Chains A and B, each alone.
Chain A
Amino acid sequence: MSKKQSTSVQTPHQYKRFHWAQRLAHALLLVSFTTLGLTGMPQKYATAGWAEAMVKLFGGIELTRLIHHVAAVSLMLLAIYHLLDIGYKIIVRRSRMSILPGLQDLKDGLQAFLYNLGFRTHRPQMARYTFEEKMEYWALVWGTVIMGFTGFIMWNPLTSIRMLPGEIIPAAKAAHGGEALLAVLAIIIWHMYGVHLRRFNKSMWTGKLSEEEMLHEHPLELADIKAGLAERSIDPGLLRKRRSIYYPVAGVLATAMLFGVYGFVNSENTAITTLPPSSSVVPVYVPQTPTPILTLTPETQPPATALTWDGYVGQLFQHKCSTCHGVSNAMNGLSFATYADILKGSYGSLVILPGNSTGSVLVVKQLAGNHPGQLTTDELDQIKSWIDLGAPER
């Protein structure tokens, strides 16, 4: 372990910079960060055309969110690994905490900027981590903390607001989006320029830097290495003793943190698996009663005053029959215009047999239906009664 981690000279011109585990962690971070950005940005700008196209590409919004969540969990696991790794370096190896920022970094930054503007003759001479690298590292730490915290609130809204007001949920969403935009832009500008554009720094993949690169970027570290100050040697016995303390503690911490992640993901389901919304609460088909009918309802006849030709029957026949069987056009020789006409019948054959309604042709015709002038059931009953009474005139 100690040999592998050493930054001692590999070849005359190659200096080991990153351990394979660090490089793997970086590669995983690259994948999870990129995935989070690619799946998150379309959610932040959901109404934009490009966002829609990207969501479609990821297989819809639900799948986009699932991918985002998986990448988020990966990032959380990476963060746990990183914390344990730092713990190992601090507690077991007692390494220098060379990534910690200090006043010198501020001075270096200022000097670099002034040099670029031509106000200084030299670039700052920097150690293992330049101010640019430290800035990026701590931005990542800050960002991950913010994103984890706000992500938890959005993932577990009910748990989050047990102690806090509901408003923190949209506030967390706003912060998550703002921080994400900041992180993505910072990576595009700071990281891309610093390690890809200015000079392609491959050390995060090869693990090594050449002597020339070391001289340009980390001259103070190079000097330390050459002076034999970079690596502190540790007594193997002491190392074993520290490990025997750290490993169990780290195991407990790791378990606790993994439970934390499990809780993060699984503690709350209500916001995810919700009840299906209820459908219409009233029945759809409820016709009005009485059912509206196609054409106008015929006027109802006033009830008979007296069941005689003069009292009722004459008016009824005038009203319903005289268009065809009236004075002007006695169809089939039949006219209902006067009492005498109706008793005369059609071409000599009687249509009314006073006292015998069932034998009267008029009643038979009407009962059979399909006569152009049709009496209602009530009217026909009245006529039948009238005939049975002897068809009185008055």
Chain B
Amino acid sequence: MSKLVTTMRKPWLAVNYLVLGLTAAGLAPHRVQPAAAASAPGPQDGDNTACLFCHSQSGLVRLLPNGESLPLTIDASHFIASAHNSLGCVECHTAIPAFPHPEFKAGSLREVSLLFYTTCRQCHQEQYDKALDSVHQKALAAGNTHAAICTDCHNPHTQTPLTDVKTGRLLPEARLNIPQTCARCHNAIYEQYKASVHGSALVGEGNTDVPTCIDCHGVHNIQNPTTASFRLYSPFLCSKCHTDPVIMDKYGISTQVLTTYVADFHGTTVTLFEKTSPDQVTNKPVCFDCHGVHNIQPVNDPQYGLAMKQNLLAACHKCHPDATANFPGAWMSHYIPSLTEYPVVYYVNFFYKIFIPTVIGGMVIYVLSDFTRRLIERRKGVRHV
């Protein structure tokens, strides 16, 4: 036994490091990312060599009671490249401070993750708290152990930095990987997204102008997207990019899509609901009811594109089952009426643009003349005739 203690002296150093680490984490919760990015593993990281003494061996696995095997090998090359490379193993694995390890309770791989993920809050309290408010945490609290936790998206041993140290903004290469991360659990949606106008640009062309999952759903505080309030707010999610000329001009896409939608009966209703009663359930369509959610296609797509009249009619039929073939003409397809697009509407607007000032202007002129005349007469003491 004395021999064991001598051999495993280093883990006790690691415990000391753990205490230091926790104190530092408590004092400065955000120090991790810059520190991780700034410093290569220094001498103090020698602590990890005690753990890596065993855990660097390839093929190290543990059979779990449910028959799954838990791989215990840490690939040092990946870990050194990770955002966590300056951390000691025991800073996260607080429950395993030394060897021999305490009794291991997890019965399955999922239980292992669920046992360990709360350790992330030591440094990532902000993200952890946001995640507590998420649809995933709500599902987990309701007993769905499939619900995503920190480690499902961020492998702590291999996760490279995701944000630019200086700007704090997401790195372009990180954006490219987001859909694959979500696809681990939402693969059917990912398949739809990959085939969509947005997904095919991101996955196929590496175009980071297009939205990834998080642009609409958020990151850690991901909300349930099937609620009435998400639905009412959704046009503003789309319009974040679709009213931005910097992005849209590249592709020749109109930035009037929101104003034209809001000007229409459907959009007016949705906008007013969003402002006055955000939880209102409504059957008035939002962007995704016509354009699709994850499977959005370009409007000129022959099979699904809404510029094809029969496709637009099919979209109308979702809510207006007895709509006739000319019914889609009632929707101005995000156009502002002009001499070439929806000229009847243009002429009506034009008529009132002229007619109202003419009539009202004439009235004002007459009223002013009458008022002035009577005022003069009253001053003069003339009783009007």
Cα A291 to Cα B275 with chains together (Å):
42
Q: Which of B185-226 contact A (CB under 8 A)?
A: 185-189, 191-192, 226
In Å, the complex CA distance between A284 and B217 comes to 14
Instruction: Select A372's contact among B99, B330, B366, beta carbons within 8 Å.
Output: B99
Q: Is A107 an interface residue (CB 8 A)?
A: no
Q: Collect the chain A residues with CB atoms within 8 Å of residue B359's CB.
A: 182, 186
Q: Is B38 an interface residue (CB 8 A)?
A: no
Structural contact, B272 and A329, CB atoms closer than 8 A: no
Asked if A294 and B113 make an inter-chain contact with CB atoms under 8 angstroms apart, the answer reads: yes
Q: Which of A65-104 contact B (CB under 8 A)?
A: none
For residue B146, which residue of chain A has the nearest CB? A285
**Could you tell me the distance in whole angstroms from the C-beta of B291 to the nearest C-beta in chain A?**
12
Whether the pair B344, A167 counts as a contact (CB closer than 8 A) is yes
Q: Tell me if A162 and B324 are in contact (CB < 8 A).
A: yes
B98: Cβ under 8 A from any A Cβ: no
Report B-chain residues with C-beta under 8 Å of the C-beta of A161: 324, 326-327, 329-330
Decide if A243 is an interface residue (CB 8 Å cutoff): no
User: In the bound complex, what is the Cα–Cα distance between A278 and B57 (angstroms)?
Assistant: 52
Question: CB within 8 Å of B: which of A246-289?
Answer: 270-271, 274-288
Given contacts A292-B184, A301-B59, A320-B59, are A174 and B73 in contact (CB under 8 A)? no
Q: Kindly state the separation between the CA atoms of A179 and B353 in the bound complex, as whole angstroms.
A: 11
Contacts of A165 in B (CB 8 A): 326, 329, 344
Whether B337 lies near A170 (C-beta < 8 A) is: yes
Q: Which residues of B contact A56 (CB under 8 A)?
A: 276
Stretch at the interface among A29-37, A112-120, A226-234, A350-358: A112-120
**Contacts A274-B320, A275-B321 hold; do A374 and B186 have CB atoms under 8 A apart?**
no
Residue B17, interface by CB 8 Å: no
**Secondary structure of the A contact surface, majority rule:** loop
B320 touches A271 (CB 8 A): yes
Asked if A193 is at the interface (CB within 8 A of a chain B CB), the reply is: yes
User: In the bound complex, do residue A293 and residue B109 qualify as a contact, i.e. CB atoms below 8 Å apart?
Assistant: yes
| Interface flag for B107 (CB, 8 Å) | no
B280 CB within 8 Å of chain A: yes
B255-294 residues with Cβ-Cβ distance < 8 A to A are 262, 264-265, 268-269, 271-273, 275-277, 280, 283, 285, 289, 293-294
Chain A residues lying within 8 Å of B356, measured Cβ to Cβ, are: 178, 181-182, 185
Report A271-324 residues with CB < 8 Å from chain B CB: 271, 274-288, 291-299, 301, 319-320, 323-324
CB atoms of A158 and B349 under 8 A apart: no
Interface membership of B151, Cβ < 8 A: yes
In the complex, what residues of B have CB within 8 A of residue A288's CB?
A: 183-185, 187
Within 8 A of A (CB), among B301-328: 318-324, 326-328
Q: A175-B348, A275-B321, A282-B192 are in contact. Are A374 and B62 (CB under 8 A)?
A: yes
Q: A55-B276, A270-B321 known; A178 and B352 CB under 8 Å?
A: yes
* Given A186-B363, A286-B187, A370-B104: A158 and B57 interface contact (C-beta under 8 Å): no
Distance A369 CA – B275 CA, assembled complex (angstroms):
61
State in angstroms the CA–CA spacing of A292 and B185 once bound together. Answer: 10
B93 to chain A, nearest CB (A): 12
Contact of B53 among A116, A274, A281, A323 (CB under 8 A): A323
Q: Is B78 an interface residue (CB 8 A)?
A: yes
Give the chain A neighbours of B273 by CB distance below 8 A. Answer: 60-61
* Given A116-B370, A181-B356, A293-B71; A282-B189 close (CB under 8 Å): yes
Could you tell me if A275 and B319 are in contact, using CB atoms closer than 8 angstroms?
yes
Smallest Cβ distance from B323 to chain A, in angstroms? 6
Question: Which residue on A lies nearest to B65, using beta carbons?
Answer: A369
Per-residue CB contact flags for chain A residues 12-55 toward chain B (1 = under 8 Å, else 0) read 00000000000000000000000000000001001100001001
- Is B320 within 8 A of A174, CB to CB? no
Asked if A274 meets B187 with Cβ closer than 8 Å, knowing A285-B146, A369-B63, the reply is no
Q: Determine if A145 is an interface residue (Cβ-Cβ < 8 Å).
A: no
Given contacts A43-B268, A123-B384, 19 further A-B contacts (CB under 8 A): A109-B366, A154-B265, A158-B324, A167-B342, A170-B345, A174-B345, A190-B363, A198-B374, A282-B188, A283-B188, A285-B146, A285-B186, A286-B188, A294-B112, A294-B155, A298-B73, A301-B59, A331-B7, A374-B72
30 pairs from A and B in contact (CB 8 Å cutoff): A60-B273, A112-B366, A116-B366, A158-B323, A161-B324, A161-B326, A161-B330, A165-B329, A165-B344, A166-B328, A171-B344, A173-B265, A178-B352, A186-B363, A198-B374, A275-B319, A278-B318, A284-B186, A284-B188, A286-B188, A295-B71, A295-B157, A298-B58, A299-B58, A319-B57, A319-B59, A329-B7, A331-B3, A331-B4, A372-B101
Q: Which residues of A contact B (CB under 8 A)?
A: 43, 46-47, 52, 55-56, 60-61, 109, 112-113, 115-118, 122-123, 154, 157-158, 161-162, 165-171, 173-175, 177-179, 181-182, 185-186, 189-190, 193, 197-198, 216, 270-271, 274-288, 291-299, 301, 319-320, 323-324, 329, 331-332, 369-370, 372-374, 376-377, 379
Interface residues of B (CB under 8 A from A): 3-4, 7, 53-54, 57-63, 69, 71-75, 78, 99-101, 103-104, 109, 112-113, 146, 151, 155, 157-158, 183-189, 191-192, 226, 262, 264-265, 268-269, 271-273, 275-277, 280, 283, 285, 289, 293-295, 318-324, 326-332, 337, 342, 344-345, 348-349, 351-352, 355-356, 359-360, 363-364, 366-367, 369-374, 384-385
